[in-house]
Structure 1
Amino acid sequence: MPSVSLLQIEHDFPELQFKEGKVFSWNPNSQTVYYEKLDSQEDLVQLLHEIAHAKLGHKNYQYDIQLIEMERSAWEYAVDTLAPKYGLTLSMDDDNIQDSLDSYRDWLHKRSLCPQCGAVGLQDTSSSYKCINCHSEWRVNQAKSCQLKRYQIK
């Protein structure tokens, strides 16, 4: 475990709840930060990222690109504001941060691929896309950590 304890973090953010969970995540409805484990500096950095979502007031998003922006801004806040508070030197170029952002970019790209022709489509609603190449339309599920599914609707 890093030299910073969960007890210290809980003390520093009394407005938030911290609970052990299956993945690191932020729940704005219950003001809860979930953490998987806290055995390494990488785990602490991930926890700070989730706290950043809370401090930035991140809630829901309508379009996928908004999720990418929320993730980027949470990482920037964790790097620039939270990490120095705990004596950590981080950069947006760190592999773990870029890998995390890449996972969201890859997710967004896969969602946007037309199941009919393979072209990149445009998001129409929070769960549907349209292809400007073949004019197909499809729905997507909200999966971010499990299998993405696309359902052609036209």
Structure 2
Amino acid sequence: MKKTFLSAVLLLSAATQTVWADTVFSCKTDNNKYIEVQKINRNLYEYSFGSAAKKEIAIRNSKADLLGRSDRWQGWGRGRWATMKFQNGEFMYTVDAGFDSVTHAVGSGVLVERRGKEIARFDCTSKTAQANFDDDDFAW
């Protein structure tokens, strides 16, 4: 009994060390959809879009792939921003969060492109965006 319990605890402990999810970004859109980015582990991120009851889209990209595609604020100007560009075949989903240090305006949402052409844009509703791009590689 003790061996079984100890084995279960060790397996659970190992699983929690390798797989965890932190919310990097979330918001609600005007059409009552939710945009969310989760950090699954230190090398994997997931973008999702859909209703509160069901994800319509869920895409996972590696950190290395995201860093190769995403733009980062270089420290110039009054606006601070961060993006994460998730690719799914010929579609690109660019999650962005921005902050104007003078007006304190915040803008965020997702831009959807197919083969480099914009096909949709979903903006976050006022005061619903929660951006936590705290990973040094994505931070502003």
Verify same fold: TM over 0.5: no
Tell me which interval the TM-score lies in, with the shorter structure as reference length: under 0.3
The normalised TM-score by structure 1 is: 0.26
Structure with more of its chain in helix, by fraction: 1
The normalised TM-score by structure 2 is: 0.28
Higher relative contact order (CA 8 A, sep 6+): 2
